[in-house]
Structure 1
Amino acid sequence: MHPLTWQQAGQSDDTLREFFVPALVDLGASIIIQDAGRNYLFVTNLPEIWAIEHVATPSDVSLFGDEVAAKLGTLKEGITEAGSKGHIEIAIGTEQVYEFRVQAVGFAKGGVHLVTTIIDRSEERHRERLLRALLREVSHRSKNLLAIIQSIALQTARYSGSLELFLHKFRGRLYSLSQSQDLITDSSWRGAYFFELVQQQTEKYLPENKHLVRVHGDNVLLTPNASLHLGLALHELIVNAVSHGSLLRSGRVINVACTRTELNGHDALEIVWDEVLDASLKSEDEEALKAHFGSTVLERVVPASVNGKAHYAISNDRISYRLVFPLESGGE
């Protein structure tokens, strides 16, 4: 006996064997017992795809068909001595997977027999496929995110006159990405809703004046890619509004809208940022707003990333930003 088993004195293996089969069947296992000549002696609990009702004399071929029987035959040829075992997996279609586990068992009467258990691995393999797909998706998105960070670092350095200014701007932009990524992660990688994205990107800079940014229109679920880049655009716009504009001085509300529209005959989204300026904004301030990385993000990086078109305009009395992009590229 196996050192980790216990059996009451006087009980035979034959008596206990009567309990083993029901226990295995209850666990969902199918069981086949064959003699040394591979003649079927016992078969029970086969999966529904292998019907046994109309089979007069069970065999590997009559039960499983020629292809599966050939694979089982090859496996069983190497299992001849008591204690030897082997297994194969059989895929039926694209969804069902069954594991055949074969072992040679020595009986006191009748010599070596083959015991085959069949276990449904379909759900397990399905989870493994989903996990592999998820890991590939995470790897793909991580590479995209790293590429965005690299681009931000290079462009921020190009428009920063000092290390201190670079660090200040770069940290802000990284924080913007991380906030958008949190929304994406919370939605199981589906993306971020536009209203929540605006709120998240602006409330940090207006902790006591959240009412100064009013969002309206269609609360569309943006794709992960659009969420990251639109989040970055919103970050640049709110930073400009707080740093260079007259938002806090005038208390005038910034209107942000998301509207379903058309672009070249296809469904599209139109994002509009409308900020009314205080009359005290000077011409040099207007130039400062345009001559830095923020305008590059708004006019080039973001529209290119979502296959759209953008218009960024600064005048004496307002700042407006309009982005239109195909719905399939950025939302649903």
Structure 2
Amino acid sequence: MHPLTWQQAGQSDGKLREFFMPALVDLGASIIIQDPRREYLLVTNLPDAWAVEQFASPSDVSLFGEDVAAKLSLLKQGMTEPGHKGHIEVTVGSDQVYEFRVQAVEFERGGVHLVTTIIDRSEERHRERLLRALLREVSHRSKNLLAIIQSIALQTARYSGSLELFLNKFRGRLYSLSQSQDLITDSSWRGAYFFELVQQQTEKYLPDNKHLIRVGGDNVLLTPNASLHLGLALHELIVNAVSHGSILRSRQAISVSCTRLHLEGHDSLEVAWDEVLDPAHASDPGEDALKAHFGSTVLERVVPASVNGKATYAISSGRISYRLVFPLESAAE
């Protein structure tokens, strides 16, 4: 008896074995028993792929076909001593996977028999394939995200005059990426909807004045790449609006929209940001300084290049306007 097996005193092994077979069948296992001459003694609960209504003299070939029988024959070679074990996996069709587990067992009478258990591994292997695909996707997206972070770090350092300024800007941009990534993750990596992206990137800076951001147009599902970069652009625009104080002084709502267009024979998206400057600030000769930092690099170069689009960023006549046009296939799935 196995050291981890317990049974009530007085109960014979033979009597208890009557319960083993129903239990194994209930678990979905198929069982085959062969005598020392490899003659079949028992076949029960075969998978549908090989199930037959009647057979006079079953064999590996008649039940499973020549290919599987050849693999089983090779596996069973040399299984003459009790305790010998082996297993193979067989694929049926495109997605059914079965494991054949064979072991040599010595009966009290009759010598060494072979007990073959067939277990359906299809669902398990399917999950493993999905997990491998998921891990590859995680690796791919992680590398892309790290490349974006590296670019942000380099560009932020280039336009920062001090370590304190660098850290302040870099943290803000990392937060922007993390917010966009949260939306992407919540959608199972399908991307982020435009309205939610705008809300998430702006509400932190206007917690008590959410009404000052008005979003309209088409609520397009953006790809993960477009979501990350457009989120970064929105971050720069809202930080600029709050930093130079225009939005809070003028109390004029910023208009943000996304519009489907058909340009040059291609379906495209136009993302627009329209902001009214405070009159006092609009006449300030230092207005062009608003663009002389990394923010303008993000808006005019980094973001459009990342989505294969074009952008214009203008500050004139008391207004700030930003237009980003890019192919729909770079934005929506």
For normalisation by structure 2, the TM-score amounts to: 0.95
* CA distance in 1: counterparts of 2:143 and 2:179, whole angstroms: 18
Look up the match of 1:66.
Answer: 66
CA distance in 1: counterparts of 2:223 and 2:229, whole angstroms? 10
1:172 is the counterpart of 2:180: no
Residue number in structure 2 paired with 1:330: 331
- State whether structure 2 residue 188 is matched by structure 1 residue 188: yes
Are 1:321 and 2:325 an aligned pair? Answer: no
| 1:281-320 aligned within 5 A | 281-320=282-321
Q: Does 1:237 align with 2:232?
A: no
Cα deviation, residue 158, structure 1: 0.7
The runs of 5 or more residues in structure 2 that have no matched partner are: none
1:264 Cα offset (Å)? 3.5
Distance 1:98 1:154 in 2: 53
Match of 2:126 in 1: 126
- Which amino acid in 1 is paired with 2:262? E
Question: For residues 35-74 of structure 1, what are the structure 2 equivalents within 5 Å?
Answer: 35-74=35-74
AA of the residue aligned to 2:332: G
> What is the 5 A alignment of 1:235-274?
235-244=235-244, 246-274=246-274
- TM-score, normalised relative to structure 1: 0.96
- 2: CA distance between counterparts of 1:81 and 1:144? 56
Greater alpha carbon shift after TM alignment, 64-73 vs 284-293: 284-293
In structure 2, C-alpha distance between the alignment counterparts of 1:2 and 1:51, rounded to whole Å: 33
> How far apart in 2 are the matches of 1:7 and 1:163?
73
Deviations 1:128-163 (A, max 9, x none): 111111111111111111111110010011111111
Provide Cα deviations, 1:17-43, integer angstroms capped at 9, x if missing partner. 222111100000000111112111110
Matches of 1:7 and 1:207, distance apart in 2? 68
Whole-angstrom distance in 2 between the partners of 1:185 and 1:56: 57
Residue equivalent to 1:97: 97
Matched, 1:75 2:86: no
> Equivalents in 2 of 1:286, 1:90: separation in Å?
72
- Per-residue deviation at 1:326? 1.8
Q: Distance in 1 between matches of 2:128 and 2:50?
A: 25
Cα distance, 1:185 vs. partner? Answer: 1.6
For residue 192 of structure 1, report the CA deviation from its aligned partner.
1.3
Quote how far apart the aligned CAs of 1:290 are: 1.6
**Structure 1 stretches of 4+ moved >3 Å:** 7-12, 282-285
3-state DSSP class of the match of 1:98? strand
Shift of 1:245: 5.3
Contact 1:263–1:325 (CA under 8 A) maintained in structure 2: no
Q: Distance in 2 between matches of 1:122 and 1:267?
A: 42
SS of alignment partner, residue 279 of structure 2? coil
The farther-off stretch of 218-227 and 4-13 is 4-13
Offset of 1:248 from its aligned partner? 0.9
Report how far residue 170 of structure 1 moved: 0.8
Counterparts of 1:259 and 1:202, CA distance in 2: 19
Residue aligning to 1:135: 135
Give the secondary structure class of the aligned counterpart of 1:206.
Answer: coil
2: CA distance, partners of 1:78 / 1:312: 78
The amino acid of 2:211's aligned partner reads H
Give me the whole-angstrom Cα distance separating, in 2, the residues matched to 1:320 and 1:58.
Answer: 80
Residues 235-287 of structure 1: CA deviation (Å, up to 9, x unaligned): 00011111125211110111001122224323222111111222222454331
Give unmatched runs, 5+ long, in structure 1.
none
Distance 1:78 1:228 in 2: 60
- Secondary structure of 2:312's counterpart equals strand
Q: What is the CA-CA distance between 1:215 and the residue it aligns to?
A: 0.4
Q: 2:292, 2:283 → 1: CA distance? A: 15
